[in-house]
Structure 1
Amino acid sequence: MNLRPLLLALALLAAVGAADARVRNVTDANAPRALPTEGPVSVRWGDPAKFSEVRYSGNRTEAARGNWVEELAVYLRDRAATRLPEGQRLDVDIVDIRRAGAYEPWRSPDLQFTRIIRDLYPPRMTLNVTLTGADGQVITQGERTLRDSAFLMGDSPNDSDPLRFEKRMIDRWLRQELSPGA
């Protein structure tokens, strides 16, 4: 029995599977730039390659790896939707993101792919927001700068979540922005 055709077919299938299993980057041209409209909160963002997280990173390739922009947008949408009073609408444009920590490739070649979490690298986000009332009138709008300089001091409910510091910062902002009487 000749195994050569079978081995060639398996090698071809493995190559096709590996091509489809490539790692997604937030800077991919076909990556979404907005969440599908669901409920009272819409979230959009521009090209993440222009975000501080990627532009000023010690390792741009690693900083762009993953789906973290969309994950943060989904988190913001879902959390804001639970806090909005009936009939209100929140539109958010993410202008910039700088995640907690940084890559410090100068420490060691072994650490070039490791995000170092230190207090001098706090998470930051810049958002343009518009909050509209049930009557269609704008309640508030403008740019919001989120920053959590004390991000290492608080407890995190999920210490294994790589976006835990950014999510906690979003929660704090939503409590302030959408609290009754704010």
Structure 2
Amino acid sequence: MTIQARLNAVLCSLTLLIGFGLCAPSVIAAQKPTVRVDWTDPSQFSEMQNRSGFNQTSPKVWLGEFSSTIRRHARRVLETGQSLSVTITDVTLAGTLRSGSRTSGVRVVDRNTPPRIKLSFTLTGADGQILLNGDRDLGSPNSMSPGLADSSNPYIHEDRLLIEWMDREFGSHED
């Protein structure tokens, strides 16, 4: 083999390796689970019907938190290539709003006022086939563990409800 032929072979090999190296991350990224979260009209949620005129946090804030929790945890429990679509259809936040002059707008959380989240979901396999779908009404006094009260996350009870649902529904595959 001539020197020119050897150089061409080396260049072709390098080109293939570099090309594969640049393509490999996108192939791997495409296999990660994908998660989409949306919601129906928040003004129709139970939480909004029970506001009693208090200046509460916008639904965009807590729906954003719930979306982040679902995306983050679903990527831990779903298998490679699966897709999850979740639509939140109703929310009642944990606790009740206190209506005193000094405590106006303060949410008091206890075992008698657990969170409730209604949702619908579809889990799709890498081949596009629907693996699981349905509607769920999540609500449990067990999500009101006393140890959670110290958390800096104001939606810790609702987040825990969502995480427990995903672990039950899809299994826990955390590393």
Give the alignment's TM-score, normalised by structure 1. 0.70
Instruction: Identify which range, 148-157 or 47-56, moves more after superposition.
Output: 148-157
- How far is 1:67 from its partner? 1.1
**Match among 155, 165, 178 for residue 147 of structure 2:** 155
Give the alignment's TM-score, normalised by structure 2. 0.72
In the alignment, is the contact (CA less than 8 A) between 2:54 and 2:104 conserved in 1?
Answer: no
Count of residue correspondences: 141
- Give the structure 2 partner of residue 27 of structure 1: none
Q: Secondary structure at the match of 2:89?
A: strand
- Give the structure 2 partner of residue 90 of structure 1: 84
What CA distance in whole angstroms lies between the structure 2 residues aligned with 1:120 and 1:59?
22
What CA distance in whole angstroms lies between the structure 1 residues aligned with 2:54 and 2:44?
11
Percentage identity across paired residues of the two chains: 30
Rate the CA distance shift 1:154–1:90 in 2: closer, same or farther, 3 A. farther
Rate the CA distance shift 1:120–1:103 in 2: closer, same or farther, 3 A. same
Instruction: Identify which range, 163-172 or 61-70, moves more after superposition.
Output: 61-70
Is 2:36 aligned against 1:42? yes
What CA distance in whole angstroms lies between the structure 1 residues aligned with 2:128 and 2:168?
22
Is 2:113 aligned against 1:121? yes
In the alignment, is the contact (CA less than 8 A) between 2:55 and 2:105 conserved in 1?
Answer: no
In the alignment, is the contact (CA less than 8 A) between 2:69 and 2:163 conserved in 1?
Answer: no
How far does the alpha carbon of each residue in 1:70-95 deviate from its partner, in whole angstroms, 9 at most, with x for none?
11111111111121101111100010
Q: Which has the larger radius of gyration?
A: 2
Structure with greater contact order relative to length (CA < 8 Å, sep ≥ 6): 2
Rate the CA distance shift 1:114–1:154 in 2: closer, same or farther, 3 A. closer
Runs (5+) with no aligned partner, structure 2: 1-31
**Structure richer in helix, relative to its length:** 2
Q: CA RMSD in A?
A: 2.2
Rate the CA distance shift 1:65–1:146 in 2: closer, same or farther, 3 A. closer
Segments of 4+ in structure 1 off by > 4 A?
A: none
Q: Secondary structure at the match of 2:132?
A: strand
Q: Secondary structure at the match of 1:125?
A: strand
Trace 1:1-182 onto structure 2 (pairs within 5 A): 40-64=34-58, 67-105=61-99, 108-153=100-145, 155-156=147-148, 159-179=151-171
What CA distance in whole angstroms lies between the structure 1 residues aligned with 2:147 and 2:51?
26
- How far is 1:119 from its partner? 1.5
